[in-house]
């Protein structure tokens, strides 16, 4: 298959922390949440209505659980990805009958991955490696917990819908969570790239999500669409804002352009050479300041690189918010950690 890399030459990442691939805006938001001692128990309590065991049983009863005798190639890929990320145990993997090219990760305490049969049929080996790496990234970062909260809030919104003030406030919170959720997809695209280490395979995945059939799409023209999408017309900006408000994933051309920029970055090259955060060093309160500052830099970079006038405004607001969070943290951080 075109662009395949021999397993022996693919880099592994001993002890790698999810912080190595998490998008700065994603990581900054999670760092704030993780640093507050009461947040974990509260979120778990809110998420208690989610029956992880029940959903797993649904997959056992209606999907094919990947193993040595069922989809053995996928079983090997799943284990190779887990080994690349130095995981003691690979997440369970299921193949679900559906023509839609899609995959998702569920579960909080023991996340599991589900691949639609349409995706398995459509992707070649390295594209599948990217997809499994992407979903493994969700599992490593603990995104299932916060995605569950978003689902609970969506259900709660209907209960508050008759209260204008409550509905408006809930809409703002949900919109913010959706924005975080879109950033998690950018994070896990990076995890997928670290798993396959083949930017062309990653790009083919994004082309497939956009509608490519049989390699009939010109890559340069496709990436040019991302520049066209940014635009400079405020009318288009409003339409994009409304269109993206409830999207859980960034648009395909945006994802492709974002990941290709990261693939060409010094940060990606450093990870491949062994320079990356380790899990053994993950202490949320110590990393919070760096993560907030990283989120602020991300907003500034997005603002300076975008031609979209509304995006500039939104990013300016985002930078102000994370800056305020950083100042607040500096008042309570041990030894005045934040600068």
135 given a catalytic annotation: yes
The active-site residue out of 22, 92, 135, 258 is 135
For the CA atoms of 243, 246, 248, 251, the dihedral, rounded to the nearest 10 degrees, stands at 0
Output Rg (C-alpha) for the chain, integer angstroms. Answer: 20
Which of these, 263, 247, 52, lies nearest to 145 by C-alpha position?
Answer: 52
Residue whose tokens read 């070649």: 124
Pair of tokens at residue 101: 């090219």
Rounded CA separation 269/64 (Å): 37
Rounded CA separation 207/216 (Å): 10
Rounded CA separation 175/158 (Å): 15
> How many whole angstroms from its chain centre is CA 307?
24
Query: Taking a C-beta distance cutoff of 8 angstroms, is the pair 86, 15 a contact?
Result: yes
Query: Taking a C-beta distance cutoff of 8 angstroms, is the pair 98, 117 a contact?
Result: yes
Rounded CA separation 65/113 (Å): 10
Could you give the residue numbers annotated as active site?
Answer: 135
């Amino acid at each position: 298959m075109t662009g395949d890399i021999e397993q022996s030459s693919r880099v592994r990442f001993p002890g790698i922390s999810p912080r190595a691939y998490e998008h700065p805006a994603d990581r900054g938001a999670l760092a704030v949440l993780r640093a507050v001692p009461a947040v974990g128990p509260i979120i778990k309590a809110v998420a208690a209505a989610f029956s992880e065991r029940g959903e797993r049983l649904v997959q056992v009863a209606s999907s094919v659980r990947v193993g040595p005798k069922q989809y053995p190639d996928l079983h090997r890929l799943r284990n190779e990805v887990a080994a690349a990320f130095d995981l003691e145990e690979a997440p369970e993997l299921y193949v679900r009958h559906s023509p839609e090219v899609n995959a998702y990760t569920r579960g909080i305490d023991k996340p599991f991955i589900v691949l639609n049969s349409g995706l398995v049929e459509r992707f070649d080996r390295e594209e599948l490696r990217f997809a499994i790496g992407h979903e493994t990234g969700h599992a490593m970062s603990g995104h299932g917990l916060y995605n569950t909260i978003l689902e609970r809030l969506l259900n709660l919104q209907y209960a508050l819908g008759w209260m204008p003030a409550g509905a408006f406030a809930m809409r703002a919170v949900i919109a913010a969570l959706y924005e975080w959720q879109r950033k998690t997809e950018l994070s896990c695209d990076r995890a997928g790239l670290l798993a396959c280490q083949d930017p062309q395979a990653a790009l083919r995945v994004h082309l497939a999500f956009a509608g490519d059939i049989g390699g009939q799409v010109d890559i340069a023209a496709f990436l040019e669409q991302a520049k066209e999408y940014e635009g400079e017309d405020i009318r288009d900006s409003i339409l994009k804002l409304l269109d993206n408000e409830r999207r859980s994933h960034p648009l395909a051309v945006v994802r492709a352009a974002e990941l290709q920029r990261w693939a060409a970055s010094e940060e990606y090259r450093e990870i491949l050479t062994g320079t990356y955060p380790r899990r053994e060093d993950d202490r949320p309160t110590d990393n919070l300041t760096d993560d907030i500052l990283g989120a602020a830099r991300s907003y500034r970079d997005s603002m300076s690189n975008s031609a979209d006038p509304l995006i500039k405004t939104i990013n300016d607001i985002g930078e102000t918010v994370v800056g305020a969070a950083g100042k607040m943290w500096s008042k309570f951080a041990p030894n005045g950690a934040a600068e």
